[in-house]
Every structure is written in C-alpha cells, then in structure tokens.
Amino acid sequence: MKKIFLAGHNGMVGSAIYRLLKRRKDIKIITCSRSELDLCDQKAVKNFMEIERPDEVIIAAAKVGGIYANNQYPADFIYQNLMIACNLINSSHLTKVKKVLYIGSNCSYPKYATQPIKESELLSGKLEPTNEPYSIAKISGLILCESYNRQFKNSYTDFRSVIPTNLYGVNDNYHSKNSHVIPALIKKIHFAKKYRKSNI
C-alpha cells in the first residue's frame, strides 16, 4: 500500500486533497497536526520523515492570509513558508521519497503579468508589494523542486510544483482582517443576510 504524507491536511487546500485521497483504498494517508509536528523545525521534520518513510509527499502546508495579514506580518510569512518548503523538500530527498507535489501560489506571478497568465510569465517582473515576502517564499519552493530534479537525476527524484488559481471553499479562513477577498465577501454577505442589513 502506497504511503502519502499530506502536510497541511487541516487547511482549505489540504483538506480538499485529503477528502479525495480518502476515497482510495490503495493509499495510506499520513497526517500530522501543527501541535504534533512543527514544519519549521528542521530536525523534527527529518526525524518524522525517517520514521514514517512515505512514498510520496504532498505539501499543502503554508502560512497564508490576505492583504492585511501579509502587510502586518511579512517576516512571519517569508520565514515560515521558506522553512516549510526547505524542510519538507530536503527531508523528502534525504529519505528517498519517490514523488513530491508542492502547492505553489498564483501570487508568484508578477503584478503586471500579461492576461491570461502564461507559465512563461513567472519571474518576468515585479511582484505585488503587499505580499512579496510570501510570494518569494512560494517561488523558492518551486525552484527547490526544480533544483533537486536537476541535480539528482536518479530513479526516485520526481519533485513537482503546481500553481492553482485563487481558491476558496470548505475550511477557508474567514477571519475579519486576515482572510482573502472571496471569503471576506462571503462572510460580510452572510452577516448582512443574518442581521437583515440593507448593504455591506
């Protein structure tokens, strides 16, 4: 039975992936809460990977937030996301994980990218200043995957990245200040309806 470590299974993207994987009978899903494993702790991540020995790793874990949160906590956003990517990708390499899927972010593209955005636009211009630290961390994860593939051309290194578009849904962050635009609007509309407000 194939073992997949899903990092970030409680978040919006991670929980959606978890629900899909749960349907499969040929997969054992390995999960860990933040209180059980600090993904910013290099030694703890390496020890965890050495014990669990997953065949594949899906990295959906990230520190995320909207414009306000990115503006208020830029150091937290770049540091934590860099550490998550570095620790999981390097530990996957050291423990000979066959496949890694790293979930990137569409804010990795330049602020003034040509529309509709093409992959070739990546690293072709300035990033949106409000979330530049987060964007740089996510870009680093993409480049890490690419770099491990280039340097270690062997039978097991297959590290890939995907950049989904703006996402929203079950288990999203509906915080009044730290959420993204769509969940913030959903929350405002919900409260307007609940409290019979005539506008939002």
List residues with catalytic annotation: 134
CA distance 22 to 4: 11
Residues 6+ apart with CB under 8 A from 118: none
Task: Look at residues 115, 90, 112, 110 and name the one whose alpha carbon lies nearest to residue 100.
Answer: 90
- Contact status, residue 29 vs residue 22, Cβ threshold 8 Å: yes
Specify burial of residue 136 (Cβ count, 10 A radius: 0-12, 13-18, 19+). middle
CA distance 107 to 84: 18
